[in-house]
Amino acid sequence: MKVIFIVPAADIRRNAIYRFGDKIYGHSNSISGPLILGRILKDAGYDVEVYEELYKDLNFNKFENGDLIMLYTMTSSSTRAYHIADYFRNVKHKRVVIGGIHASSLPEEALQHADQVVVGEGERVIVDVASGKIKDKIVYSKCIENLDEIPFPDYSLLKTPCRAANVMTSRGCPFSCSFCTTSRMFHPYRKRTPDNVIEELRMYKNQGFKYVNFEDDNFTADKDRAKEILRKMISNNLVFRETFFFGRTDMANDEELLQLLHDAHLNRVLIGIESLNQKSLDNINKKQKISDIEKCGTALVKHKIRLIASLVLGLDDDSKEDMERGEKFCERINAYQFQPAILTPFPNTPVYEQYKKEGRLLDNDWQYYDMMVVNFKPKKMSPYDLQSEFFRVAKLFYTFKSSFNILKIFGFVAWIRRIGLWIAVKFGEALFRKKSNIKDGNIYNKIKEVSI
Ligand code: B12
Ligand code: SF4
């Protein structure tokens, strides 16, 4: 029996210009879930293929030989996932199963487009769902507590481009910021043993991967464990050209950790700075002080770890001035990349419940729940003003002049990427406007209308 996994991408992400910008931003990488579930199914005797739309347009006619179509959903790709699911069910008469973070939050909605929906981490149930042994329409899958039992992702199943291998050394996060979806989907927080992680890294080294991403929501949550993994990477010669990871500002309190991160080439980190307004940080339960952010910025430059500074735009207590202050701060600490993220009320988060109760959600399609479009009424400005701030702060940060600081600190390749991002940001707004056409204009016009 042939199983085809599809990881869809929202419309806006499937055009040549977006794909070019994405290439400059980082290395192509894959969602691990389908590669893990695919491996489990392959080991059980199924013929499995995995396709990702983000990096290549797919010709669905080629999937005629698939008996079972399995779709991953995040919120912004769910509209596209449902479209694909309807096509395979109604036109091609195939069996369709949907899973992933969005379907896990809203299984009844997903079920309108699928024969079955899996809620949660799918490892425990995937074989019985595929075989038809489990017949429930909505299947609740309990997570595996001992992560070392889970097989490694099988990249031989992936039929679309991918340059970096993704490693999840843990699932979930011990913190619980009010807007965060992953700490709720992957719950409780669990960690793999360092030896198990090292085994997976050795596999990627042997497969010829030059780049690795640690996709843990918070790799440095347990600093001693992180240090053990890093020491083992170094002593086993498992250091890659570049390894991206997600961290928190508290990692800067540990000098030994910073040195090991540098030595093991974990040299590109995304940190949620979120806001430079302490009241906002407290309201989202971030458990982070402004002084932590300051300290972290300086420490990362010292250790030549390139910071992708992420700011949340649109928090209830943040004004336009606060957002600009945040941007200026990221400039001052020489952040390598800047990622403004519009606060997005993802289903199943406290923020979503609060805004729903307060009647503040805009009536937008899920595809715009991508952290780049305003989907709610902010407190201190109109939705359109917030949308404009998103483009404005990005342009403030990415200037030709500031790219020379990056050249000085991080060298030529980093500079070229920075120049690419400067160009992408310069033309990004026009591209998004053009590509987000809806019935009556584009999504930005719609946001403008509700702002009046
Ligand atoms: C790698 C990654 C990416 C990569 C690769 C994406 C791709 N190839 O499409 C990149 C960096 C490009 C990316 C881009 C984006 N991402 Co992303 N990404 C991730 C990340 C960090 C890891 C995913 C992963 O491997 N998880 C670990 C594995 C074990 O879990 P899993 O894949 O979900 O699979 C499990 C279950 O979901 C389930 N399952 C999964 N698929 C299926 C299918 C079936 C049939 C079944 C039964 C079960 C099942 O079982 C699996 C095993 O337990 C997650 C965060 C996270 N922790 O998941 C964010 C995350 C998914 N991304 C997110 C977002 C918002 C985006 C972007 C919109 C960001 C942006 N503004 O551009 C884009 C959209 C891309 C798109 N496809 O349209 C959000 C989604 C939130 C939400 N509720 O929708 C997340 C959760 C991050 C976050 N902190 O909020 N992303
Ligand atoms: S620290 Fe990051 S991963 Fe952890 S709950 Fe907060 S936003 Fe989510």
Question: Per-residue confidence of the chain (452 residues) as pLDDT tens digits?
Answer: 999 999 999 988 998 878 887 888 789 999 999 999 999 999 999 999 999 999 999 999 999 999 999 999 999 999 999 999 999 999 999 999 999 999 999 999 999 999 999 999 999 999 999 999 999 999 999 999 999 999 999 999 999 999 999 999 999 988 888 889 998 899 999 999 999 999 999 999 999 999 999 999 999 999 999 999 999 999 999 999 999 999 999 999 999 999 999 999 999 999 999 999 999 999 999 999 988 888 999 999 899 999 999 999 999 999 999 999 999 999 998 899 999 999 999 999 999 999 999 999 998 899 999 999 999 999 999 999 999 999 999 999 999 999 999 999 889 988 998 998 999 899 888 888 887 776 666 888 889 988 87
Q: Is residue 248 in contact with ligand 2, taking CB distance under 6 Å?
A: yes
Answer whether 173 contacts ligand 2 (Cβ < 6 A): yes
- DSSP string computed for 311-356: EEE--TT--HHHHHHHHHHHHHTT-SEEEEEE----TTSHHHHHHH
- Distance from first CA to last CA of the chain, Å, rounded? 55
Beta strands 242-247; 211-214: pairing state? parallel
Q: Which residue owns the Cα nearest ligand 2 atom 1? A: 175
What domains does the chain contain, in order, with CATH numbers? Answer: 2-140 (3.40.50.280), 147-418 (3.80.30.20)
Taking the C-alpha atoms of residue 260 and residue 226, their distance in angstroms, rounded to an integer, is: 9
The closest of 353, 427, 344 to 387, measured between CA atoms, is 344
Q: How far is residue 241's CA from residue 238's CA, in Å, rounded to a whole number?
A: 10
Residue 188 preceded by cis peptide, ω within 30: yes
To 5 degrees, how large is the angle CA 199–CA 30–CA 300?
75
The pLDDT of residue 284: 92
Given this model, what pLDDT does residue 440 score?
64
CA dist., res. 161 & res. 30, Å (int): 9
* Segment holding 97, helix H or strand E: strand 95-99
Does the C-beta of 110 come closer than 6 Å to ligand 2?
Answer: no
Closest CA to 85 of 111, 62, 53, 65: 111
pTM of structure: 0.96
CB 347 within 8 A of CB 106: yes
CA of 34 to the centre of ligand 1 (A): 10
Helix (H, G, I), strand (E, B) or coil at 294: helix
Among 101, 168, 175, 220, residue to substitute to test ligand 2 (most atoms within 8 Å of Cβ):
175
Ligand 1 pocket test, pick from 23, 79, 101, 219 with the greatest ligand atom count within 8 Å of Cβ, gives 101
Q: What is the pLDDT of residue 175?
A: 86
Residue minimizing CA distance to atom 5 of ligand 2: 176
**Under a CB-based contact definition with an 8 Å cutoff, are residues 320 and 385 in contact?**
yes
CA–CA dist 172, 191 (Å, integer):
9
Q: Which ligand is nearest to the CA of 217?
A: 2
